[in-house]
C-alpha cells in the first residue's frame, strides 16, 4: 500500500480535520494511502493549528504527546491541486484528502521521502480507531472535525 510521511502535528491533523496536505511536488496517486507520523515535530505547524486553524486547546495534544515513527491511519487522496479555497492550502501543490481513518494503535515503521510502499500485510490486520468520514471538514466550515458518525469498530 502507498504511504506518505508527515511531520507532527500535521500527521495528527489529517485525522482531526485537515483537508489538504501541502507539498512542493505533485502526485498522480488517487485513492487510499497510509499516513506515517515522522519522527520530526514542527513548532510552526503547531502554532498554525493552534492560532490560525483554531483547533480547540482541549483537543490539541501537547507537543510531547504526539506519536512519532509510526503508521497512524489511512486517508484517500482525491485530487492534487495548485490552488484551493481551503485555509489548509498553503503550498505549491495540495493533496485533497477525504475519508480519514485513524488506527486504534500506531504501527512502528520507518518513514521515507515522497510516496513509498508499505507491505499490505502490515496494515491489513489493523483496526481503525473510529469511522471518521469528516463531512464538516471537507466543507471547510472552520469547525475542524465532526463528532457525527464516530463509531468505534
**CATH number, position 58:** 2.30.130.30
Q: What is the rounded distance in angstroms from the CA atom of residue 130 to the CA atom of residue 149?
A: 8
**Residue 119 resides in a domain:** yes
pTM, 2 dp: 0.80
> How many domains does the chain fold into?
1
Residues 124/99, Cβ–Cβ less than 8 Å: no
**Per-residue model confidence (pLDDT) at position 52:** 78
**Residue 153 resides in a domain:** no
**Residue 19 resides in a domain:** yes
- For 36-72, the pLDDT digits (tens) are 999 999 999 999 888 877 765 568 899 999 999 999 9
Residues 37/68, Cβ–Cβ less than 8 Å: yes
> How does residue 31 score in pLDDT terms, banded at 50, 70 and 90?
very high
- For 78-88, the pLDDT digits (tens) are 999 999 999 89
- For 110-140, the pLDDT digits (tens) are 999 999 999 988 877 665 665 444 444 443 4
* Domain ranges, residue 131: 2-138
**Residue 60 resides in a domain:** yes
Residues 63/28, Cβ–Cβ less than 8 Å: no
Q: What is the rounded distance in angstroms from the CA atom of residue 124 to the CA atom of residue 139?
A: 30
Amino acid at each position: 500500500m502507498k504511504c506518505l510521511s508527515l511531520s507532527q502535528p500535521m500527521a495528527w491533523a489529517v485525522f482531526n480535520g485537515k483537508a489538504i496536505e501541502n507539498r512542493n511536488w505533485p502526485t498522480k496517486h488517487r485513492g487510499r494511502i497510509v499516513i506515517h507520523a515522522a519522527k520530526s515535530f514542527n513548532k510552526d505547524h503547531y502554532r498554525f493549528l493552534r492560532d490560525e486553524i483554531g483547533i480547540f486547546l482541549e483537543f490539541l495534544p501537547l507537543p510531547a504527546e504526539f506519536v512519532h515513527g509510526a503508521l497512524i491511519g489511512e486517508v484517500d487522496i482525491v485530487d492534487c491541486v495548485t490552488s484551493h479555497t481551503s485555509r489548509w492550502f498553503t503550498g505549491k501543490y495540495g493533496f485533497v484528502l477525504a475519508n480519514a481513518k485513524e488506527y486504534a494503535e500506531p504501527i512502528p515503521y520507518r518513514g521515507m521521502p515522497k510516496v513509498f510502499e508499505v507491505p499490505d500485510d502490515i496494515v491489513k490486520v489493523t483496526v481503525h480507531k473510529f469511522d471518521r468520514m469528516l463531512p464538516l471538514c471537507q466543507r471547510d466550515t472552520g469547525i475542524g472535525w465532526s463528532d457525527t458518525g464516530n463509531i468505534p469498530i
